[in-house]
Amino acid sequence: MKILVCISKTPDTTAKIAFKDNNTKFASEGVQWILNPYDEWYALVRAIELKEKDPSTILHLITVATADADPIIRKALALGGDEAIRVNADSHDSYFIASQIAEVAKQGAYDIIFTGKETIDYNGSSIGGMVAGLLDVSYISLATKFELNGLTATVTREIEGGEETDEVALPVVVSCQKGVAEQRIPNMKGIMGARTKPLKVVEPTSVDALTSIVSFELPPAKAGVKLIPADNPAELVRLLHEEAKLI
């Protein structure tokens, strides 16, 4: 069994979001970077669990990023995985990123490719579907459970208003969210071991980006809260009805 987990680095969830260079770039000065939570907590941990069950499993991590992602990659390797591949490029175009992953995936002939549900910075929810499309394999999005029986995966996923459980033959691309696994903290042995695990750097294949970010904006500031006395909640209902016209 060969598994590839797609990981990415994102600003810490509490990072201040600001822009520079005429609002064309994210102001990353002083920002703490983390592994995208969906990739770390769900995709990666589930892959590690599958390897723990079947130690012959080969588990690779991939990220499309420049060298400043290396500390994040080491952090991921401290949780588990045999080696990491970094495609040396910086892009916010989902198609470009997906094409790089698909290229590596083709060469590695992986049975399962896990992604997170979305990146919490660019929020595309797109990479998994694109990789599946480029490889022409099945894609199961928004998985909440993943089990393996031989060469068939049983996956529970979110559907509108509920969940469904599907069976699908490998190879498959699966995007993971809450439920698939439980967050883990790396231990000392993992952290030490991660230092010597291979981190392969490959150059990107030439692909044209299909989109480009022109500028960023921050949402307009709120006017401020209108407080209603706690002994008169009926006033809230009146305001929502007459002023806001929402109920």
Ligand X SMILES: Nc1ncnc2c1ncn2[C@@H]1O[C@H](COP(=O)(O)O)[C@@H](O)[C@H]1O
Ligand Y SMILES: Cc1cc2nc3c(=O)[nH]c(=O)nc-3n(C[C@H](O)[C@H](O)[C@H](O)COP(=O)(O)OP(=O)(O)OC[C@H]3O[C@@H](n4cnc5c(N)ncnc54)[C@H](O)[C@@H]3O)c2cc1C
Subset of 55-94 contacting ligand X (CB under 6 A)? 62-65, 94
Among 1, 27, 31, 37, binds ligand Y (CB under 6 A): 37
Among 67, 169, 192, 201, binds other proteins (CB under 8 A): 169
How many whole angstroms separate alpha carbon 187 and alpha carbon 200?
23
Size of the site for other proteins (CB under 8 A): 79
Residues of this chain, 5-34, that bind ligand Y according to CB under 6 A: 13
Check: CB of residue 84 under 8 Å from CB of residue 76: yes
- Distances in Å between the Cα of 167 and the Cα atoms of 42, 140, 179 are 20, 10, 18
The reply on whether position 109 binds other proteins by CB under 8 A is no
Residue type for position 2: K
**C-alpha 156 chain-centroid distance:** 18
Q: Near other proteins by CB under 8 A, which window of 44-52, 57-65, 106-114, 125-133?
A: 125-133
Question: Which among ligand Y, other proteins, ligand X, none contacts residue 35 (Cβ within 5 to 8 A by kind)?
Answer: none
The reply on whether position 14 binds other proteins by CB under 8 A is yes
How many whole angstroms separate alpha carbon 28 and alpha carbon 10?
10
Q: Between residues 5 and 34, which has the closer beta carbon with respect to ligand Y?
A: 34
Residues 6+ apart with CB under 8 A from 60: 2, 3, 4, 5, 81, 82, 83, 84, 85, 108, 110
Residues of this chain, 109-138, that bind ligand X according to CB under 6 A: 115-116, 118-119, 122-128
Q: What token pair was written down for 136?
A: 């022409």
Least distance from C-beta 32 to ligand Y, angstroms? 12
Residues facing 172 on adjacent strands: 112, 138
Among 65, 98, 105, 176, binds other proteins (CB under 8 A): 98
Q: Between residues 4 and 40, which has the closer beta carbon with respect to other proteins?
A: 40
Radius of gyration, alpha carbons of the chain: 21
Closest CA to 8 of 78, 76, 58, 110: 76
Residues of this chain, 14-53, that bind ligand X according to CB under 6 A: 36, 38-39, 43
Check: CB of residue 198 under 8 Å from CB of residue 83: yes
Least distance from C-beta 15 to ligand X, angstroms? 17
Question: Which among other proteins, ligand Y, ligand X, none contacts residue 64 (Cβ within 5 to 8 A by kind)?
Answer: ligand X
The reply on whether position 233 binds other proteins by CB under 8 A is yes
**Contacts to ligand Y by CB under 6 A:** 13, 37
